[in-house]
Amino acid sequence: MNNPRVNIRYAQALFDLAIERNEIEEARRDMKLIATVCSQNEDLISMLKSPVINSDKKTGVIRQLFGNQISKLSLSFVEIIIRKRREAHLYPIVSTFEDLYLDYRKIIKATVTSAEPLSAGARESLLQLLESQSESKIVLSEVVDPSILGGLIVKVKNQLFDDSIKQKLQLLRKEFNVNTYIREF
């Protein structure tokens, strides 16, 4: 279940409160911990989504899991989510919080896809180029996909730069399929 309006509303509330209390770094660390645990434990997600398990039991499980590891603010936030019956949205809310944090710190996520792993020099050059163009810090994630044959596909925010050999071959195929021969009488 994913409702962007719910996710942004709750994530924004926690974000604003953390800024107000000057606990933004602590809240981010806590949300990253919750996201990691949720992504690694499908049973936890299933338990949170289950309408059969009551809110008190869910709160107890969350306290057992995170009670000593996250701040009071973050624990109270998760308990409010459970009390308001939005626990199925916990993981998307945490992800939305991370997006808000990155925007706040002017950090942009970028993904580069290549046929082989990038060398350290190529990675640094790409990072410098992206940071100079965007005037922001870039967090680069790499994907290796041999099917692109060569070149790079870079995705920054909503922009996609496809300079792969696969893309170039597809464009050539389209060009050759167009019959430019004009028959003269």
Question: 172 - beta bridge partners?
Answer: none
Q: Give DSSP secondary structure letters for 99-121.
A: HHHHHHTTEEEEEEEESSPPPHH
pLDDT at 72: 93
What's the mean per-residue pLDDT of the chain? 91
Closest CA to 138 of 114, 121, 152, 156: 156
What gap in Å lies between CA 113 and CA 103, rounded to an integer?
A: 23
Decide: 92 and 122 in contact? Cβ < 8 Å: no
SS3 67: coil
* Residues, the chain: 185
Numbered ranges of CATH 1.10.520.20 in the chain: 4-103
Report whether CATH 1.10.520.20 matches the domain 4-103: yes
Given a cut of 60, whether residue 81 has pLDDT beyond it is yes
CA quadruple 86, 88, 91, 93: dihedral positive or negative?
negative
Mean pLDDT of 2-22: 93
pLDDT of 113-141, one tens digit each? 999 999 999 999 999 999 999 888 999 99
Mean pLDDT of 40-67: 91
pLDDT band at 33 (very low <50, low <70, confident <90, very high): very high
* φ and ψ at residue 163, rounded to 5 degrees: -120, 40
Cα angle 29, 60, 71; round to 5: 25
